[in-house]
Chain A
Amino acid sequence: MTEGLALIAPWLIAAGVGFFLTGALGLWRFPDAYARLHALTKADNLGLGLLCLGLACQAASLSAALKLLLVWGLVLVASSIGATLIASTALARGLRPVTRRGSRRGARRGARRGSRDS
């Protein structure tokens, strides 16, 4: 059991690092705040989950492994609500999402969202 866990741990960690690199690339290259939030919340949280799972496989005790998984759970809660806060604050401040067809569709979508909120 423990040997099997020790065998898959490096692969989980490597996959987690890969997702983190992808998230960093997205943060760097995506056009606006909303798209960057996708990179930060989806890719990075999956990367962190794989990383924590890999480290939990290598942990000395069950309580240490559970603590690592608790870290992931807390980051999930904080980052999902944080991302919602950032996105809704950006919309409230009038930041339009960038769309491929130009800014009109984004502007209309932003206006519709604004009217529903108010």
Chain B
Amino acid sequence: MSAFVIGFDLLLGAGLLWLAWQALFHPQPFAAVVHFMAFGLMMALAWVRLEALDIALAEAAIGAGVTGALLLAALGRLPDGPTPRRLLRAWQRPPVALALGSVLLLSLWLVWVAWQLPRPGLAAEVTAALPESGVRHPVTAVLLNLRALDTLLEVAVMLGAVWLVWSLGPELRPYAPVTALPGLPALTRLLHPLFLMVPAYLLWRGSHAPGGAFPAGAVLGAGGILLLLADGVPWMQRPEHQPLLRLLLAAGLVLFLGLALGGLLLTGTFFAIPLAIAGLAILAVEVAIALSIALMLMACYLFGEPGR
């Protein structure tokens, strides 16, 4: 039995490396995108094997689903025909070789550092700190209380990504033939209640089991993208709703930062959340972050700034 499990893990690792290589170096862009999506699904399976269900959920939803669909949508707007193979010019080779060499060296250094990490990890410390965090699930405790600064910066990075996409130009409308098909609006209507119920369930679950703001935001965002593709959320594109959209996009980050500064005022330490209000405050921040993440994912699908 254990030989079978080891064989499965080796196959999974080898498959991941092969899919990553295909996604990076396949000559056809469509095949590369499909390999990237398969890579995301296999990666989610790898996270399940590592017993990290939270990361597996987020990887499957964002890595394979949302990013893959974003790449496919971008691909559909590219002109047809074979891509020209760009060969490196002679003067370009030394800097490229230098960059590849430094990446290789950095990766080796990272492997060495990871090898030096204390074992068996910090699970005991997290378990010890769990009663003071206000939640019962260790992953949620780490993400939203013990190492909340990392999560805050992640949300800021996502907001930065939306800012970058919107800086490219005005938004693009979905293709007319796609919206004319009856199946897409029907699917959207059929699945929409579920796309609201599942994130609520994941948010509620996050306090005691795998779930929480990131998977909930990813699922809600996926449903929202389906709506966007069917042209079902016209308010996002209307100029008079832009202040509201921007406020909601920033709500998660602002509330999170407010919590951190409130901790600074109340206890004198940045992000020190008093235990009495920790559970409720974390839940409020999680709801705001999930909503913001969902809207951020949808905002990337506008392919530009709306209402311009």
Asked whether B183 is an interface residue with its Cβ less than 8 Å from the other chain, the reply is yes
A84 to B190, CA, bound (A): 15
The number of chain B residues with a CB under 8 A from chain A is 10
Chain B residues closer than 8 Å to A74, beta-carbon distance: 191, 194
Please determine whether A85 and B184 come into contact, CB atoms closer than 8 angstroms. Answer: yes
A62 to B260, CA, bound (A): 42
Asked whether A88 is an interface residue with its Cβ less than 8 Å from the other chain, the reply is yes
Most chain B CB inside 10 Å of its own CB: which residue of A77, A78, A81, A85? A81
A77 to B226, CA, bound (A): 14
Give, as a whole number of angstroms, the nearest-CB distance from A68 to chain B. 15
The number of chain A residues with a CB under 8 A from chain B is 10
Please determine whether A81 and B186 come into contact, CB atoms closer than 8 angstroms. Answer: yes
Asked whether A89 is an interface residue with its Cβ less than 8 Å from the other chain, the reply is yes
Please determine whether A77 and B191 come into contact, CB atoms closer than 8 angstroms. Answer: yes
Chain A residues closer than 8 Å to B177, beta-carbon distance: 89, 92
Q: Which residues of chain A in 58-108 are interfacial with respect to chain B, using CB atoms and an 8 Å cutoff?
A: 74, 77-78, 81-82, 84-85, 88-89, 92
Q: Which residue of A lies closest to B186 (CB)?
A: A81
Please determine whether A81 and B194 come into contact, CB atoms closer than 8 angstroms. Answer: no
A82 to B190, CA, bound (A): 13
Please determine whether B191 and A85 come into contact, CB atoms closer than 8 angstroms. Answer: no
Most chain A CB inside 10 Å of its own CB: which residue of B178, B183, B194? B183
Please list the residues of chain A having a beta carbon within 8 angstroms of any beta carbon in chain B: 74, 77-78, 81-82, 84-85, 88-89, 92
Instruction: Name the 10 nearest CB pairs between A and B, nearest first.
Output: A81-B187, A81-B183, A84-B183, A85-B183, A92-B177, A88-B181, A85-B181, A85-B184, A77-B190, A81-B186
